[in-house]
Amino acid sequence: MTDWWRGAVVYQVYPRSFQDTDGDGVGDLPGIIRRLDHIAGLGVDAIWLSPINQSPQRDMGYDVSDYKEVDRIFGSLEEFDMLIERAHVLGLKVIIDQVLSHTSDQHPWFRESRLSRTNARADWYVWADPNKDGTPPNNWPSVFGGRAWEWNPSRGQYYFHNFLSEQPDLNFHNPEVQDAVLDVLRFWLERGVDGFRLDTVNYYFHDRQLRDNPPARRPKHLPYAVNPYDMQEHRYGKSQPENVGFLRRVRALLDRFPGSTSVGEIGDSHRGLQLMEEYTSGGDKLHMAYTFDLLGPEFTARHFRSKQLGFFTGAPNGWPCWAFSNHDVNRHLSRWLKHAVGPVQLARLAAAMLLSFRGSVCLYQGEELGLPEADILFEELTDPPGIRFWPEYKGRDGCRTPMPWDEGEAPNGFSSGKPWLPVKPEHSALNVARQNADPDSVLAFYRAALAFRRAHPVLREGEIRFFKVAEPLLAFRRGDGEAALTCLFNLSADPVIVTLRGGVGSDPLPISRGASRRGSRLTLAASGFAFLAGGEIDVAFGGRRRPG
């Protein structure tokens, strides 16, 4: 089936933190192979591996020094081939991260480019002359703090870096650069991967004129952002129109490998949804895209509804991939806990909701255990922006800590050595072994929810229609006719009453939690949710029901 990705559930593996087998405290490919049964047992369709390419690890693998080699801390190309083979035996597709917008400054391409203005790769990166006073050519900042320009005395020019100074941006206006990165994708496709998660997919092109970015709008009553990067509207350093043409070249390559797919990460706070639509519409660019729209603090029915409606209205032929957590943001259990009656209830509610949205889904490792964000001390930090902006911003280490697999003292079966990040007590208590033995655990619910999604094709393929109801109720129907499902979610810590009208429908299906029905009256407990099958049900929100 070549369109397996449409409606698929993808499990993100952060290799450094999944399973270590050689005792160095860092996860590796043999560890992933060892734990593939756990992933397959969840009932997902694919895995996505965060970067495993050779790298100095200044940004945990997002600074690639050799695109066609596996970093030795993770293993070898031969072990990668073994992983692909075992995953396919288990029915899992394999998607790998590709970081194409920039390389490491240790990459041979950059080492050559920085030597002079006349070498064969002189124009492979973004170089610019200084202003007359020696300052950088414009006001573009780095995502990780400071200016996005680094001086290189060999050339007497600045080079552009959206992230660390050790991560120079490639110049995609140069056709040779495009050809080189397409050759990288071809290398991995020929090795058997089923697709790519394309990191920072809207960062490939920059404005040729290097125009200054305008300031972002900031209400006067709000303080300045912690990171100056958030004080600009990034109109020129990324998200350029030329990107669409290159994505068509990527798709043309993928189409020569039937069944392969692509999902692009779009980081743009001003135009994220628009780019998501633009990059996936028409069937000739990305297969899927996701933004950070559902990875923030907002937890309202209006927010979730507006993002779904906004995408499908703007790109009726495009396809989204939704996620609540990943390796770059605080885990959603910590972001949204204040809106729920408790962590277990929130974990179930979030899983049921995400797996009911129209589109494909990404689950982040540990999400199935109900892991909260880990509280990392300053002396334990490894993440560059966390170190730079501490304590107002603690970085991304809190969502990247190792998986707790077994009972016993930390690191709970992750490694026989000292892990690269600590396993905190609250994570130890949520280990896989303990939850495997508990039929009421968050892990058990994830397995049940994924089985429910597989048993109801409308959750994978059906249209979505939202009911006009008030906060805190999110209500929609997936599909039509007898196979339709009505999905109701109470996004608050108070019970709510829902009135059902029209078709009779069913009592709440067994996957529901905190839901009871008496005739046309349905009560949802705090953080409760219900799935009703069949009938042309109409929904009216009856209001909150105060305890007692």
* Measured distance CA(276)–CA(266) in Å, rounded: 7
* Measured distance CA(309)–CA(298) in Å, rounded: 17
Compute CA distances 139 → 2, 149, 232, 233, 234, whole Å: 45, 9, 9, 11, 10
Of 208, 211, 140, give the one whose Cα is nearest residue 173.
Answer: 208
* Measured distance CA(57)–CA(39) in Å, rounded: 26
- Establish whether 406 is a catalytic residue: no
The answer to whether the CB of 84 falls within 8 A of the CB of 93 is no
The two counts, helices (H) then strands (E), for the chain are 15, 20
Compute CA distances 141 → 131, 343, 352, 387, 531, whole Å: 16, 37, 39, 18, 47
Q: Which of 265, 278, 368, 397 is catalytic?
A: 265
Helical segments of 90-136, H only: 108-113
- Establish whether 409 is a catalytic residue: no
**Which contacts (CB < 8 Å, 24+ apart) does range 346-349 have?**
346/527, 347/442, 347/445, 348/442, 348/445, 348/449, 348/513, 348/527, 348/529, 349/489, 349/490, 349/491, 349/513, 349/527, 349/528, 349/529
Q: Is 216 helix (H, G, I), strand (E, B) or coil?
A: coil
Structure token digits, residue 351: 């899983």
Q: Which of 199, 268, 367, 397 is catalytic?
A: 199
Which sequence positions are flagged as catalytic? 199, 265
